Chain A
Amino acid sequence: GQNIDQPTEMTATEGAIVQINCTYQTSGFNGLFWYQQHAGEAPTFLSYNVLDGLEEKGRFSSFLSRSKGYSYLLLKELQMKDSASYLCAVLDSNYQLIWGAGTKLIIKP
């Protein structure tokens, strides 16, 4: 079967750095997305990786290792508004998007 694993919940301090990991086992791979979802709201697109390496976008970076079936989302200079769930999703060989259950990130002052 297809599977995406992410930690259920993480806690970090305002101003710090946090890394949210995602491991996947899917039938094929055509890219990995990270989405942010605030409570009661819709997911918003953060990043897309299809090649190995690090993609940086301001305070957020996303890393991919296809050989390890692994990605992480790195958030720097954390702000209170970054408190949200972060969902990892993989596009499989049929171009179906397989979603993780999300990691709830709690930011403390």
Chain B
Amino acid sequence: DAMVIQNPRYQVTQFGKPVTLSCSQTLNHNVMYWYQQKSSQAPKLLFHYYDKDFNNEADTPDNFQSRRPNTSFCFLDIRSPGLGDAAMYLCATSRGTGDNQPQHFGDGTRLSIL
């Protein structure tokens, strides 16, 4: 039944060791988003794809990269995680980016940095 699936739910990595988070969707939505959310804060948009068009937010650190090899999958790569990158990473999808296009979220991956 899950329509936006994130793996793994919990990820532990070492300081500076690259890590990849994955997201897949069965909704056939055009848009996929990656958010970072820290405790009691608003989700912070890192990037989004409209189909294959990649949109990077101006304040997303260069340490964060993303790939969308096809409609269903999207990956978040963190090249050299620092302690400040410990957070919940949320993947979301939407049919489009216009009005009344709610975003559907996966369960998130909670990233811990040792």
- Interface residues of chain A, those whose CB is within 8 Å of chain B, are 4, 8, 30-31, 33, 40-45, 48, 50, 87, 91, 95-97, 99-102, 104
Contact = CB atoms under 8 A, between A and B. Distances in A.
B41 interface: yes
Interface string B91-114: 010000111101111111010000
Contact of A43 (B43, B97, B98, B110): B43
Interface of B: 40-43, 45, 88, 90, 92, 97-100, 102-108, 110
Contacts of A95: 97-99
20 contacts: A4-B42, A30-B98, A30-B99, A40-B108, A40-B110, A41-B107, A42-B90, A42-B92, A42-B106, A42-B107, A43-B43, A43-B90, A43-B105, A44-B105, A45-B103, A48-B100, A50-B100, A95-B97, A96-B45, A102-B42
Contacts of A50: 99-100
A41 B99 CA distance: 25
Counting from the closest, the 5 A-B pairs by CB-CB distance are A42-B105, A99-B42, A45-B102, A95-B97, A31-B99
A98 B56 CA distance: 15
Contacts of A96: 45
Given A40-B88, A48-B100, A50-B99, 20 more contacts: A30-B98, A33-B102, A40-B108, A41-B107, A42-B92, A42-B106, A43-B43, A43-B90, A43-B105, A44-B105, A45-B104, A48-B102, A95-B98, A95-B99, A96-B45, A97-B45, A99-B42, A101-B40, A101-B41, A102-B40
A40 B40 CA distance: 11
A41 to B, nearest CB: 6
Classify the secondary structure of A's interface with B.
loop
A100 B104 CA distance: 17
A95 B90 CA distance: 19
Contacts of A99: 42-43
Contacts of A102: 40, 42
Nearest to B102: A45
Nearest to B105: A42
